[in-house]
Chains A and B, each alone.
Chain A
């Protein structure tokens, strides 16, 4: 079932939580809404679920308008952040509860509940109460409950945020495998970019009630269209400046720390304010006295070094209190520079992305 949002706006009193959002989610894909807290991602999910009615705009499920159809008639399955398992019902009753509204005869319930629990690997826990289960088990019961009704759409609201970091990874993989196996259209809300990148077919990044960019994980990481996305996804060095000139696809930018050259995915006009974004793993650092042949070079001094095992990260201070991060991927062969060392920082123009404002 494909989902489409057209010009959807949602206001709470005077506060506009969502402004004119257009979004298409394809049949069978796992689509993630990603953004900082308060960006409107949960509001979007709850609009799709039907807990909210949009002030403006339309929502389509497989071509049918649904914005005025109540939640109970939308055939969705939802997993809540706190699981929302009913504490007064056993696992069996929790999973089976929705079946009565689908007019499924009671004799079929055990089979269907068993199927759902098999999917999440919790067969044998039917007579337990939620309070007797671990967080991970509760999470899986919630998933089984959502799947038992064979919904058209699966909605997941930060389902992993209440789990320990250790099991979060395995549950994440389970969800992805299950979703692929069932081929169910899934909308997933999270504020954790790592979760989003590893899990999703496509991601919609939201900020301040707007959908900023939609794309697959590669596109978002490699071709952010705004400074916000560049900053939010992964780690980026961001240097503000003004576009000076463009030639043969290469763009020159005037920044407080010197001229920079880079490429861009957008139209750039000279005189525009812009941001130069470069990932720490693409930046190199050498002692100030060394000869360098990079397209873009900045001088500064080491202000902080952190060893992360598989990488070494320098934080370099430049004039005008600009800080850049440099990652050394294989610290084994690298001779560590002491704090305070005067250095040069450089990166190729192909690694510099120019994002106009």
Chain B
């Protein structure tokens, strides 16, 4: 009898053990910052345009103001208010007409609401004509009161309804469809080209031994460090019409004018060469930027193939390319699909590169511009819908890829790797020529950005003529906010990533909780979400106050949160793969000698996994500082990041300052990548994506 308290305690402990309430904050976070914005995005895209009713509210306020002025005897001000009122009535009429039109497009009949709006409209007409005949505010008071009452009722009327109109408008609109086709084409083409280069590099690095292999192991990772806009600008600086290479050709043509006039004339006729403007340039930029994503993932799969699988094929007569295509490549599919998915999403959602190389009609930039403008509500609406369409596409690709990967999970923990074969001298030279020229091309943007950041007024010469540190002084001392904000936000984002990601990884690796499947789907979905789409979803979800007085979209904390969400998958995956390697029995051994669960985690698990976790966190950091789509969409004046700074400087015409910020970003990115590389004993990457 007196044991009831004790029994309660035991029950409570059991309940704690079974239901793990400490995971609830994590689910809450994911629900609020991943599921809610995406649902809101789809709901919004399936809703009629929400015509702003602000003129109606303004009219109410003006009536109050007018009465106040009359009471205080301020004749002139009261007259001005009356004039305002007439303008506001007209604007209200427009709003109401557009609202009824929007309601007319709804999926279900909204006739009742439309009728009531029309009533408001006709009453408004009566009041308007009455007011028009009045000259002094005093005699208008009565009508004004009537107006206030009408408007107060009107703003309560429904002005939204469920509709598929906008969703299908996107598919009916030729411009958007063309843009969608262009973006999909770019996505697929980038996957093809990146795969060819990425797979060749991975195969060389994993299967062969040649001088400098370890160095290239690191160098071939670097191209993923590419700040937005200035990355492609770097290409333009070097390969553009007035870029270094074309200028060198001009100089060369002048030099040989006398000695070899034929070639000189031909050069003058054909210069400048178009290296970057158009589809070929776009594809080149995307490929050189994205092939490491394929390499990273294929290296991981390739090095885990057990040697006997290939030997078995060889023993039956399958050699060379036959064996490569029948056995080796199919076995790399899981890693390859993940890499290809990332390349696809990245290229599909790239909103800056097409613009810089002179191509306009792509889906991400369209959505971007629709959301960034504040003039046409219909266009804004279209932007939201495009965001939803982009999410839909990534879900489709995710389903295809996920099915493919999960059906063929070949990963084993014990395997005998295929031995590296030393390359003969000739082949080594060939491999080096391939890798070095690839790296030269991939590093062109770094060269361009670097030169531009130290140049004063660089144009029409192969290299800048005057050198300056002015741009660095500007971005470091005059406007240090960009750099400081970026580091603050990204550090916060990484901390959030670990706080949320490590427990998720632990749940997936160590428990049999039913939510594992959902967590897996959610983190993979985030991996596949284009930044533009997530940014739009956040704008829609957090532009109204929830729980706190200010809308979350107006507070700086939204940026570290969105960064953390975007990069969460990297931390989860690297933590997960580190945890999988630590056998459960090691923890059980600690528990068997009396260590508590927390103590075990601290003394056994953590020392074994911290490197992997940290590597994943730093990788999240490295990609966070480059994040542009969401940071620009959500940027709040006074709280901008470096990528926003790059855009501001670029659109403001100060390319040098943009380049300086970009170059700092590149250096920080490469240094972080180097640390990541040192931390992960093998090559980093597989853990973050696979």
User: Are A and B subunits of one complex?
Assistant: yes
B316-A86 in contact (CB<8A): no
Q: Are B308 and A81 in contact (CB under 8 A)?
A: yes
Distance between B416 CB and nearest chain A CB, rounded to angstroms: 8
Query: Is A82 interfacial (CB-CB < 8 Å)?
Result: yes
Pair B316/A84 contact, Cβ less than 8 Å: no
Task: Tell me if A224 counts as interface (CB < 8 A to partner B).
Answer: no
Q: A82-B306, A86-B327 are in contact. Are A98 and B333 (CB under 8 A)?
A: no
User: Is the Cβ of A101 less than 8 Å from the Cβ of B312?
Assistant: no
Task: Flag whether B317 is at the interface (Cβ < 8 A).
Answer: yes
By a CB distance below 8 angstroms, the chain B residues around A149 are 316
Contact with A along B287-330 (1 / 0, CB 8 A): 00000000000000000001011011111111100000011001
Q: Does B14 contact A (CB under 8 A)?
A: no
The answer, yes or no, to whether A51 is at the interface (CB within 8 Å) is yes
Provide the bound-state CA to CA distance between A85 and B316, in Å. 13
Stretch of A68-76, A110-118, A253-261 with 4 or more beta carbons under 8 angstroms from chain B: A68-76
Contacts of A81 in B (CB 8 A): 308
- The reply to whether B316 and A97 contact each other, CB–CB distance below 8 Å, is yes
- Distance between Cα atoms of A102 and B317 in the complex (Å): 8
> A243 within 8 Å of B by Cβ?
no
How many chain A residues sit at the interface, stated as a range, is 20 to 34
- Chain A: minimal CB distance from B174 (Å): 42
Query: Which residues of the other chain, A, contact B315 by a CB distance below 8 angstroms?
Result: 49, 71-72, 74, 76-78, 146, 155
Collect the chain A residues with CB atoms within 8 Å of residue B313's CB.
Answer: 86, 97
Q: Contact mask A165-179 → B, CB, 8 Å, 1/0?
A: 000000000000000
| Residues of A contacting B316 in the complex (Cβ-Cβ under 8 angstroms) | 72, 77, 97-98, 101, 145, 149
B421 to A: closest C-beta gap in Å: 13
Interface residues of A in 135-155 (CB under 8 A from B): 145-146, 149, 155
Let me know if B311 and A88 touch, CB within 8 A: no
Please state if A98 and B317 are interface contacts (CB–CB under 8 Å).
yes
* B408 in contact (CB, < 8 A): yes
Q: Which residues of B contact A124 (CB under 8 A)?
A: none
Closest-by-CB residue of A relative to B331 is: A88
Q: Is the CB of A88 within 8 A of B330?
A: yes
Whether the Cβ atoms of A97 and B308 lie closer than 8 Å is: no
B314, A71: Cβ atoms closer than 8 Å: yes
> What residue in chain A is nearest B315 (Cβ atoms)?
A78
Q: Say yes or no: A51-B311 contact (C-beta < 8 A), given A84-B306, A97-B318.
A: yes
In the complex, whether A38 has a CB less than 8 A from a CB of chain B is no
Nearest chain A CB to B258's CB is how many angstroms away? 60
B171 at interface (Cβ–Cβ under 8 A)? no
Q: Tell me the complex Cα distance, A82–B317, Å.
A: 20
- Whether B311 lies near A97 (C-beta < 8 A) is no
Does B410 interact with chain A (Cβ within 8 Å)?
Answer: yes
Closest Cβ neighbor of A103 among chain B residues? B317
- Cβ B331 vs Cβ A78 within 8 A: no
| A80 on the B face (CB < 8 A) | yes
**A81-B308, A87-B408 as given contacts; A72 in contact with B330, CB under 8 Å:** no
Compute how far the CA of A302 lies from the CA of B326 in the bound complex, rounded to whole angstroms. Answer: 63
Q: A86-B327, A87-B410 are in contact. Are A73 and B317 (CB under 8 A)?
A: yes
In the docked arrangement, what's the CA distance between A155 and B308, Å? 13
- Please indicate the chain A residues that have their CB under 8 angstroms from the CB of B308 in the complex: 80-82, 84
Closest Cβ of chain A to B305, distance in Å, is 10
Docked-complex contact A72 and B331, CB < 8 angstroms: no
Q: Give chain B residues whose Cβ lies under 8 Å from the Cβ of A70.
A: 314, 319
Look across to chain A and name the residue whose beta carbon is closest to the beta carbon of B330: A88
CB contacts under 8 Å to A, within B111-151, are: none
Nearest CB on A from B336, distance (A) = 12
Complex Cα distance, B335 from A217, in Å, reads 49
Chain A CB within 10 Å, residue with most, of B312, B327, B331: B312
A residues near B408, Cβ cutoff 8 Å: 87-88
B interface footprint on A283-314 (CB within 8 Å = 1, 0 otherwise) = 00000000000000000000000000000000
Closest to A130 in B: B410
Bound complex: CA A102 to CA B327 (Å): 18
Residues of B contacting A73 with CB < 8 Å? 317
Q: A87-B408, A97-B326 are in contact. Are A72 and B309 (CB under 8 A)?
A: no
Known A-B contacts A98-B317, A101-B318; A88 and B333 likewise in contact (beta carbons under 8 Å): yes
Minimum distance in angstroms from A87 CB to a CB of chain B: 5
Q: How far is the CB of A43 from chain B (nearest CB, A)?
A: 14
| A98 partner residues in chain B, CB cutoff 8 A | 316-318
In the complex, residue of chain A having the shortest beta-carbon distance to the beta carbon of B310:
A84
Q: Which of B317, B318, B331, B408: most chain A CB closer than 10 A?
A: B317
Closest chain-A Cβ to B306's Cβ sits at a distance in Å of: 6
- How far, in Å, is B328 (CB) from chain A's closest CB? 10
Do A101 and B410 touch across chains, with their CB atoms under 8 A apart? Answer: no
Q: How far is the CB of B419 from chain A (nearest CB, A)?
A: 10
CB distance from A90 to the nearest CB of B (A): 12
List B549-597 residues whose CB lies under 8 Å from chain A. Answer: none
Which single residue of chain B is at the shortest CB-CB distance from A71? B314
Q: Which residue of B lies closest to A99 (CB)?
A: B316
Residues of A within 8 A of B333 (CB): 88
B311 x A80 contact (CB < 8 A): yes
A136–B309 CA distance with the chains assembled, in angstroms: 18
By a CB distance below 8 angstroms, the chain A residues around B311 are 49, 51, 71, 78, 80, 84
- Note all chain A residues with C-beta closer than 8 A to B330: 86, 88
Residues of chain A lying within 8 A (CB to CB) of residue B314: 51, 70-72
With a cutoff of 8 Å between Cβ atoms, the chain B residues found around residue A49 in the complex are 311, 315
Which of A82, A88, A98 has the most chain B CB atoms closer than 10 A to its own CB?
Answer: A88
Contacts of A85 in B (CB 8 A): 312
B182 to chain A minimum Cβ distance, whole angstroms, is: 34
> Contacts of A51 on B, CB cut-off 8 Å?
311, 314
State how many angstroms separate the Cβ of A192 from the closest Cβ of chain B: 20
Q: In the complex, A78→B309 CA distance in Å?
A: 11
The smallest C-beta distance from A138 to any residue of chain B, in angstroms, reads 12
Give the contacting residue for A84; candidates B309, B318, B319, B326; CB below 8 A.
Answer: B309
Contact for B318 among A72, A82, A87, A146, CB less than 8 A: A72
Q: Which residues of A contact B327 (CB under 8 A)?
A: 86
Query: Cα distance A155–B312 when bound, in Å?
Result: 11
CB of B685 to closest CB in A, whole Å: 22
Q: Are the CB atoms of A78 and B318 closer together than 8 Å?
A: no
Q: How far is the CA of A136 from the CA of B686 in the complex (A)?
A: 32
Q: Which residues of A contact B306 (CB under 8 A)?
A: 82, 84
The docked-state distance in angstroms from the alpha carbon of A71 to that of B312 is 10
Of B308, B327, B410, the most chain A CB neighbours within 10 A belong to: B308
Name which residue of chain A comes closest to B311, CB basis. Answer: A51
Chain B residues with Cβ under 8 A from A72's Cβ? 314-319
Within 8 A of A (CB), among B651-675: none
Residues on A with C-beta less than 8 A from B317 are: 72-73, 98, 101-102
Q: Which of A49, A74, A101 is most buried by chain B, counting CB atoms within 10 A of its CB?
A: A101
Measured in the bound complex, the distance between the Cα atoms of B331 and A23 in whole Å is 38
Question: In the bound complex, what is the Cα–Cα distance between A98 and B318 (angstroms)?
Answer: 7
Closest chain B CB from A73 CB (angstroms): 7
Complex: A85 Cα to B331 Cα, angstroms: 12
Q: Which residues of B contact A71 (CB under 8 A)?
A: 311, 314-315
Of all chain A residues, the one with the shortest Cβ separation from B308 is A84
A78 and B312 contact, CB distance less than 8 A: yes
For window 477-525 of B, CB contacts with A under 8 Å fall at none
Docked CA distance A23–B213 (Å): 41
Residues of B within 8 A of A155 (CB): 315
Q: How far does the Cβ of B684 sit from chain A's closest Cβ, in whole Å?
A: 26
| 20 pairs from A and B in contact (CB 8 Å cutoff) | A51-B311, A51-B314, A72-B319, A74-B315, A77-B316, A78-B312, A80-B308, A80-B311, A80-B312, A85-B312, A86-B309, A86-B312, A86-B313, A88-B331, A88-B408, A97-B316, A98-B316, A98-B317, A101-B317, A149-B316
Q: Which residues of A are in contact with B by a Cβ distance under 8 Å? A: 49, 51, 70-74, 76-78, 80-82, 84-88, 97-98, 101-102, 145-146, 149, 155
Knowing that A78-B311, A97-B318 touch, tell me 4 more A-B residue pairs with CB under 8 angstroms: A72-B316, A80-B311, A84-B308, A86-B331
By Cβ-Cβ distance, the 10 closest A-B pairs, closest first, are A98-B316, A101-B317, A84-B308, A84-B312, A80-B308, A72-B317, A88-B330, A78-B315, A71-B314, A87-B410
